[in-house]
Structure 1
Amino acid sequence: MAAKIERPISEFNSELKLKGFNVWQLEADSQATRIYNRKDFYKICLTTGKSMVHYADRSFEHEGTILFFGNPHVPYSWETISTSYVGYTVLFSEDFFNALERSESLQHSPLFKIGGTPVIKIEEGTRDVLNTIFLRMIEEQTGDYIYKDDLIRNYINLIIHEALKIQPSIEFDQHKNAAGRLTSVFFELLERQFPIETRNRPLKLRMAQDYAIALNVHANYLNRAVKEITGRPTTLHITERIVAEAKALLLHTDWNISEIAYALGFEYPTYFNNFFKKATGNNPTFFREGVV
C-alpha cells in the first residue's frame, strides 16, 4: 500500500478568497490523509466509504454515507480507510454565507459549533437528494448566471436544513426576546476570541464579569439571560469554550504548557493546570501525552 500523503487545504485558498466558495467532486483516492488546520473556510462534505475524522479532541470512525461539517475555528484531519471513496465537498467563508440577510452566525449552529455534532449518518434516500444539490452547485459554479452566489448560498442552506431534520437541536431554536438577543451577542463575543493563533496575544475576556462589562450590562443580568435561554450559567459556557481551545492547543501545537497558559489568559501555569484539572479531571501534560 502506498504511503499516505497530506493535502493541505491551502491549495484552494487563493481561489476561495476571491469568490468565497468552492465546490467539487471528490477523487476516488483512498491513500490520502487530508489535514485541515484552522483556516478561513467552513466545509460541508458528503462522502460514501469508510473514514476516520479527528475533530478537535474527538475521533469519529464511520462507514457508509456521512455528512461532515467542518468549522475553521476547530483543527481536524480526515483519514480515508476504504479503497472506494466518493462524494462532494463545498468550502465557503462566513462572509460569503452571511451575505444572505436571513442567515444566522454559523458558529451558533449545532452542526458547526464547538462541542456540536460534526458527523451525521445519511440514509440512501437522503443521499440522493444531497447528491443532486451538490451537482447543482457544481453546475452553477462554472456558469455565468448573475445571481449564482445567491443560488449557491441557498443550496448550502438546503444542505444544512436537511441535516437539521436528521439531527434536530433544541439549542438551534431562535429566541427573539431580549434575553435571547443578549445571549446571542454573548456567544458571538465568546466565539470571536477564538481560535488562539499566536502565543503573544493572550485571551482578553475570561470571566463572566469581563463579558458583562464588554456588553454594558450587570453580570447578574447577563447570567440570568444566558441561563434562561440555555439552562446553564455564563461561567460554564466560558469554561467549556476555554477547555475546548486548551485541548486543541495541547493536541495540535508544539507550544509548551506555560505558553498555552499565557495564551489563554492565565497569569501562571499553575493556575491553568488547576483550571484544566478541575474541568477535565486530568492535568494538561497527561492529556497531551495521551494518558487519558
Structure 2
Amino acid sequence: MATSFKAVHYQVNNEAPVRRDFYRIWLILQKGVLQLENGGKKVQQPALIYLPPLAACSFVPAGRQRNGYWCIFTKELMDDHTRRLFPTTTQIFYPEDQALKRIRFYFDQLVQAYHSDDMHRFDSACKLIGLLMHETSLLQVQNATDRLKSRFINLLEKQYPVVDPGMPLKLRKPADFAAELGVHVNHLNAVIQQTTGKTTGQMIAERMVSESVALLRYSDWPVGDIAYSLGFEYANHFTAFFKKHMGETPGAMRK
C-alpha cells in the first residue's frame, strides 16, 4: 500500500476523511460533539484524538466554522516503535498550555511537509508523527496521575461523615490508603504532592480536622468518643493533634 498522509486545517463543508483502513489523528480546537461507536461525547476544550483502523468517528461542530487539524496516513508512515505506541482503540486526550502549543506546532509542520516538494517530506512526516505519539505518552502519564489523585480523594471522602463513635476510621495513614489503592506509598505521595501541592499526610489530616470540628460543634459525643471514632486510641493524642492544627483544644472549641 502506498504511503499517504494529509494534515490540513478544517474547512467549511470539507469533512475529515472517514476511510476506516487508515490511521487518523485529529486535533479539535472548537466545541462540538464527537460521534463515536458507543454514542456522542461533548467536546468543550481542545481535544487530541487517535483513531486506529476500523474505528468509526465523526465530529459535529457547535458552529459553522471548523477549527482544528486532521491527519490520515497508512502504517508505512510509522516506524515499529511508533506503531506499537499507537492506541488500538479510540483515545481522547485534552492537552493544555505548553503541550497544546507543541502539538499544534507538529501539525503545522505536517501541513508544511504535505505541501512541500521535498523528496524527504515523508521522512519528516514520520518523525513528526513519532513526536505526536511521544506527546501522547506524556498525556497518558498525566491521565494516570489524575486518576490516582481522584481515587485517593474519593477514598478519603468515603470515610466521612463519621456516624458511629463505635466504628473508628480504618484508613488514617498514607500507607493505609496506598495499600487500599494498590500502589506503593512513595508513588501515592509523589502524585498527591505533584497534583495538589500538599503531602498525602496533610490531605488526610486536614479532612480529619474538618470532621473533628463538625463533631465538636454539632454532636453531643464526648471528646473521648470523637477521638476514638477518628482512630485515636487515647483522647490526649487527639487533643494534641487538634491543638496542633486549630490552635486550641477540643474542649475550648466546644465552650
Q: State the TM-score, normalizing by the size of structure 2.
A: 0.49
Q: State the TM-score, normalizing by the size of structure 1.
A: 0.43
